Structure 1
Amino acid sequence: MKTKLYVNSAKLTAGITMKDSDEFEFNNMALHACDEPSLILENRRKMADLLRMRLTDFVCANQTHSAHLYRVGAEDKGRGSTATENAVDDTDALYTYEPNILLCTFAADCVPVLFSNEKKGLIGVIHSGWQGTVKEVSLKLFEHLKNEEACNPEDFNVQIGAALSQEKFEVDEDVYLKFKALGYADEFMYQNPDTGKYHIDNQLVVKKQCELAGIPTGNISIDRTCTYMNPEGFSYRADKKSGRHMGFIVRRA
C-alpha cells in the first residue's frame, strides 16, 4: 500500500496515501467517489493496520469546498470512517486536541494541509481546492486557532501535501479574477499568451495564507508532487471518475 509519510515519530504521524495499482480501486480512500464502498473500507482497514490503529479511530468530513471548520472531540471518534452519512457535515477543516484520533482529508488535485502544534497538543487537516482557497479556508482556520484557542502561530508546523501543479492548473478569467481579488496571489499566477488561459499555483497561495496568519515560512513544507503528472497521483482534472488520496494526521498518546 503506497503511502508517503511526511512525519513519523513516536508522538506524531502525518502523511498521504498514493495511487497503487496493487490495491482495490488503485488505493482509492474515498467513499463519496468510488465504485464499490466495501472495497474502500478494505483499503481503509489496511491503512489502519499500517498505522497500528482501528478504523473506528478515523474521523472524516463531508467536504463541500467551504471555509467551515470543526473541532473534533472524543465523542466524534469514528465519524465518517465507514459511511458518509455520519461524517462531520459540510466541513473542510478539522482540528482536535484528542490523542489517537486520525483526522482525514480527501483530495484529487485539491490541496491537503496537515498541521500540528506540539505545545498545545493540537493537530488538524484542511481541504483547500481552488474554491476553498479563494474562501481563505486556511487563513480563517489559523486565525480561529489564534483567537479562539489561544494558539501562537509560531508554534505550528504545516505540511502542504501533493496537489495539482501550476502547469496543469489551467483556468479561465473568472477563476483568475477570484484569486486576484485576494490581493496577495498575483505572484503565484501567470497567463499563457498562446492559449489565453491562466495558471495558478494553488499550493503557494495556500502557503501564503498560512504566512499571513503568522506561521513562519520555515515551519511550512510543500510536497511538489503533481497529482496530474505523477503516476501515483489521483487527478479529478484528468479523470472525473478519479479516486481520492487521503491526507491524515494523528497524535499518539
Structure 2
Amino acid sequence: MKTNIYVNNDKFIAGMTMKDESELEDNNMALHACVTPTNIVENRKKLATSLHCKLDNFVCATQTHSAYFHRVTPDDKGRGADRVHTAIADTDALYTYEPNLVLCSFTADCVPVIFYNEVNGLIGVIHSGWQGTVKEITSKLFEHLTQVEHCNPSDFHVQIGAALSQKKFEVDEDVYIKFKELGYTDEFMYYNDQTRKYHIDNQLTVKKQCEMAGIPAERITIDRTCTYIDPAGFSYRQDKKCGRHLSFIMKIDN
C-alpha cells in the first residue's frame, strides 16, 4: 500500500495514502466515491493494520466544502469508518486531544492539512478545496484553537499534503475574484494570456493562512506532489470518477 508518511515518532503518526494500482480500486479510500464499498473497507483495514490499530479507530466526516469543524470525542470513535451514513455530518475539519483515534480527511486535488500541537497533544485534519480556502476554514479553525482551546499557535506543526498544483489549477475570473478579495493572495496567482485563465496556488494560500494564524513558517511543510500530474495522484479535474486519498493523523497512547 503506497502511503506518504509525514510524521512518525513516539507521539504521532501522520500521512496520506496515494494511488496504487496494485491495490483494490487503485487504493481508493472513499466510500462516497467508489465502485464497491467492500473494496474500500478492505483498503482502510489494510491502512489500519499498518498503523497498528483497527478500522473502528477511524473517524470520518461527510465533507461539504464548508468552514465547519468538529471536536472529536471518544463517542465519535468509528464514525464513518465502514459506512457513509454514520460519518460526522457537514464537516470539513476534525480535531481531538484523544489518543488512538485516526482522524481522516479525503481529497482528490483539494488541499489536505494535517497538524499537531507538540505541547498539549492536540491533533487535527482539514479539507480545504478552493471553496474551503476562500471560506478560510484553516484560519477559522486555528483562531478557534487559539481562543477556545487556548493553544499557542507556535506550538503547532503543520503538514500540507499533496494537492492540485498551480500549473493545473486553472480558474475563470469568478474564482479569481474570490481569492483576490481575501486580500493576501496576489503572489499566489497569475494570468495565462493564451488560455485566458487564472492559475492559483491553493497550497501556498493555505500556508499563508496558517502563518497569519501565528504558526511559524519553519513549522509548516508542503508536499508539492501534484495530484493531476503525478501517477500516484487521484485528480477529480482529470477524472470525475476518480478515487480519493486519505490524509490521517493519530496520537499514540504510550
Question: Deviation at 1:121?
Answer: 1.2
Q: Which residue of 2 aligns with 1:196?
A: 196
Question: Deviation at 1:165?
Answer: 0.1
Pairing of 1:171-250 with structure 2 (within 5 A):
171-250=171-250
Distance 1:88 1:156 in 2: 25
| Alignment-mate amino acid for residue 115 of structure 1 | F
Q: Which residue of 2 aligns with 1:78?
A: 78
Q: Which residue of 1 aligns with 2:42?
A: 42
Pairing of 1:130-169 with structure 2 (within 5 A):
130-169=130-169
Q: Which residue of 2 aligns with 1:106?
A: 106
The secondary structure found in structure 2 opposite 1:80 is: coil
| Alignment-mate amino acid for residue 230 of structure 2 | N
Distance 1:238 1:222 in 2: 22
Q: Which residue of 1 aligns with 2:128?
A: 128
| Alignment-mate amino acid for residue 128 of structure 1 | S
Q: Which residue of 2 aligns with 1:8?
A: 8
Question: Deviation at 1:154?
Answer: 0.3
Q: Give the TM-score normalised by structure 1.
A: 1.00
Distance 1:168 1:130 in 2: 13
Are 1:66 and 2:77 an aligned pair? no
Deviations 1:86-136 (A, max 9, x none): 101000010000000000000000000000002111000000000000000
In the TM superposition, structure 1's runs of 4+ consecutive aligned residues that sit over 6 Å from their partners are: none
Q: Which residue of 2 aligns with 1:32?
A: 32
The secondary structure found in structure 1 opposite 2:204 is: helix
Unaligned runs of 5+ residues in structure 1 are none
Q: Give the TM-score normalised by structure 2.
A: 0.99
Distance 2:35 2:244 in 1: 12
Question: Deviation at 1:11?
Answer: 1.3
The secondary structure found in structure 1 opposite 2:104 is: strand
Distance 2:121 2:220 in 1: 18
| Alignment-mate amino acid for residue 160 of structure 1 | I
Cα RMSD of the aligned pairs, angstroms, is 0.4
Matched-pair identity in %: 68
Q: Which residue of 2 aligns with 1:87?
A: 87
| Alignment-mate amino acid for residue 83 of structure 2 | A
The secondary structure found in structure 1 opposite 2:218 is: helix
Distance 1:72 1:199 in 2: 35
Distance 1:51 1:87 in 2: 21
The secondary structure found in structure 1 opposite 2:196 is: coil
Question: Deviation at 1:83?
Answer: 0.7
| Alignment-mate amino acid for residue 44 of structure 1 | R
